[in-house]
Structure 1
Amino acid sequence: MKWQGGRSQYVVRSSEIDARGLATLPSLVTYMQEAAWDNTSVLGISIYDLLQKGLTWVLQRMRVEMFRYPNHREKITVETWASGQEKVFLHRDFRIYSEEGQLLGQATSVWLVMDVVKRQMVAVPDFITAVALAPGREPLPFAKGKLPVLQEATYEQQTTVQWHHIDLNRHVNNTWYLRWALAVLPVELLEKSHLQEIDILYKAESTVGDTISATAAPASEQHTYLHKLTNLNSGKELVQARTKWAL
């Protein structure tokens, strides 16, 4: 059986770096999701393929570990493959490599299939499960289990969802949630530290006109923060996350 993972190459652009000249985590997550799109297109199960059947992909959880952030104009390769299935949860893994083959980071993610009209999750269709996984490919540890709950916020920001936050699924794209969750942290932390790990859980949708509250606070573990995003219009919790930072 042929391995059905994929490899996509990118060059870090100036619009995707921070003040230190390093790629931001939201930019790297975007690369990973583009690579997943490339791979699912080859397999015939891309978002476009699903939309023809009234379905779509929805990211439910993602855990990322970064060992080194690539520089501006650095060439990177993103490797991705479907790594497993648990009931309605489909797992996909990623690895990011430098041009020299150095492992820069890795991630595991969980995806669901949604009915675009009913806005409800559905059982994984046969045409998706029929796509074979890579035999013998060692998966990364699945992202599972509960995240610690943010009890009392130390930092808070609010933003209103605009048209450019909306993606093909007609809801806020997950990378915007990631940006808002990180942006609430103090500038001193963002300037002096590197985001080493993030575990982010997506729980609900939001759309144009919604007001989003992003909150965060230090966790009991050193250099770790808990995050929460809430839709103030509906009262629904949109995102839970935990981040770990390295000096």
Structure 2
Amino acid sequence: MKSTGGITEFKIRSSEIDHKGRSTLPALVGYMQEAAWENTFDLGISMYELLERGLTWVLQRIRIEMFDYPRHGESIKVETWASGRERVFLHRDFRIYGSGGELLGQATSVWLVMDVVKRQLVSVPDFILAVEIVQGKEPLPFAKGKLPQLQETAFSQKMVVRWHDIDLNRHVTNTRYLQWVLDTLPTEILEQDLQEVDIIFRAECLLGDTVLSEAGPGDGAGVNLHKLSSEKAGKELVQAKTVWKSQGYDNL
């Protein structure tokens, strides 16, 4: 089978907006995942097909660029397609379009396959390799390389992993990690426009664990570096970089 991309339409709900009436980034990432799920379902390699074989998809990294944010009630389209494969790394790209067809944002992501019983990453199985990747769209540059390490912690908070933080894989869902990364920053940063996020998921975190979220300044104006760590396991869970720009306030 040859891979084909997919387009899914969503409408921004009131529970997914910020104080300016615009969609939050975690909500948009959730839409990207939903679009990816629908596309993989059409290709016969969705989460459910993997779970029947004792496997599952896990997101290893996602790099997002936002040019503008949709508002409450606006209909958007999320386009997604398989953009490449490197050893055990499977790449998937996204583009978000506004109601007028304008490009609001784009993202490139990296996915791995995990054994749900052993909780270990595995080689890409043959039934996934059988889906031939056909480049119908120009791929975005792959998310590669290291992120700068957080050197100076300016902000921190702790979160206990609760029931509603857990997803189908029985670990903390990646949109919750992203929310924790952002929520650690002070209001004066959060009121700015979030333009870029690069987030690497290094380890899973389970129900009942306590997560330490730390953030501090990076190199350049508006750049912040982030780290999430497991208090129980003593290991790094997430590393991220965010880029912010002040744009003033729009009227709702």
TM range (shorter): over 0.9
Do structure 1's residue 161 and structure 2's residue 161 form an aligned pair? yes
Q: Which residue of 1 aligns with 2:94?
A: 94
Counterpart of 1:213, as a letter, is L
C-alpha distance in structure 2 between counterparts of 1:144 and 1:181, whole Å:
20
1:152: how far off? 2.3
Question: Quick one: distance in 2 between partners of 1:94 and 1:245?
Answer: 21
How far 1:136 moved relative to its partner?
A: 4.7
- Residues 142-161 of structure 1 deviation map (CA, whole Å, 9 limit, x = unaligned): 00000000122100010100
1:9-33 per-residue CA deviation (whole Å, 9 max, x = no partner) reads 0000000000110000000000000
Flag structure 2 segments of 5+ consecutive residues without an equivalent: 247-252
Instruction: Give per-residue Cα distances to partners, 1:161-201, cap 9 Å, x unaligned.
Output: 0011000001000000000000000111112x110000000
Structure 1 contact 81–134 (Cα < 8 Å) conserved: no
In structure 2, the residue matched to 1:183 is 183
8 Å CA contact 1:98–1:104 kept in 2: the answer is yes
Q: Does residue 1:239 correspond to 2:210, yes or no?
A: no
Q: What residue in structure 2 maps to residue 25 of structure 1?
A: 25
Within 5 Å, give how 1:1-247 maps onto structure 2: 4-191=4-191, 193-247=192-246
Task: Kindly state the Cα deviation for residue 2 of structure 1 after the two structures are TM-superposed.
Answer: 6.5
Closer, same or farther in 2 for the Cα pair 1:234/1:118, shift >3 Å?
A: same
- Supply the distance in 2 between the matched residues of 1:129 and 1:17 (Cα, whole angstroms): 38
Q: How does the TM-score come out when normalised to structure 2?
A: 0.96
Stretches of 4+ moved more than 4 A in 1?
none
Q: Distance in 2 between matches of 1:22 and 1:136?
A: 31
The CA distance in 1 between the partners of 2:125 and 2:139, in whole Å, is 22
2:160/2:211 contact within 8 Å kept = yes
- Residue 75 of structure 1 and its aligned partner are, at CA, apart by 0.3
* 41-50 vs 2-11, which moves further: 2-11
Q: 2:3·2:82 contact (CA, 8 Å) conserved in 1?
A: no
Q: How many residues align?
A: 246
Contact between 1:109 and 1:143, CA under 8 Å: does it hold in 2?
A: yes
Query: What's the CA shift for 1:246?
Result: 1.3
The share of aligned pairs that are identical, in percent, is 63
TM-score (norm 1): 0.98
Q: Which residue type is aligned with residue 211 of structure 2?
A: I
| Cα 1:60/1:3, change in 2 over 3 Å | closer
Counterparts of 1:67 and 1:7, CA distance in 2: 19
Equivalent residues of 2:21, 2:72 under 8 A apart: yes
Structure 1: runs of 5 or more not aligned = none
Q: Deviations over 1:63-83 (max 9, x none)?
A: 000000000000000000000
Q: Is this contact kept in 2: 1:5–1:134, CA < 8 A?
A: no
